[in-house]
Amino acid sequence: MRATLRAIRVNRKMSIEEAAKNIGIPVSLLRKYEKCEESPYLDDVFKMMKVYNIESINQIIFDNKSVEIRKMQEKKQVCRNIEKSGKLNNF
């Protein structure tokens, strides 16, 4: 089932203050993420997934921002693959 960040937090019976503390971000930033006023950093998304016990990023509705998150995730994976292959050393 897919849900917004706010819906997931409320379903987990967490206050915004408690969630922000557990995620390690300011309450004001979590509020912006929940209102889709700002796109979350990928690292913050992974922290939220851990705190909210979410198995897949696809379970989170980021409004129209979900496409941006997926693109960032793909770019990060490509960078990891390049680093592991050592291809950067050839430049």
Which CATH number fits the domain that encloses residue 65?
Answer: 1.10.260.40
- At 88 the pLDDT is 53
Whether the per-residue pLDDT at 41 is higher than 90: the answer is no
Tally the residues of the chain.
91
Structural domain span for residue 53:
3-90
Q: What is the number of domains present in the chain?
A: 1
- At 64 the pLDDT is 56
Average pLDDT, rounded, for the chain: 83
Cα end-to-end span (Å), the chain: 45
d(CA 86, CA 84): 5
Q: Report the alpha-carbon angle 14-15-19, nearest 5.
A: 70
d(CA 68, CA 14): 26
Phi-psi bin for 63: left (phi > 0), alpha (psi -120 to 50), beta? Answer: left
- At 91 the pLDDT is 45
Kindly state the average pLDDT of the residues 30-51. 90
- At 68 the pLDDT is 62
- At 52 the pLDDT is 95
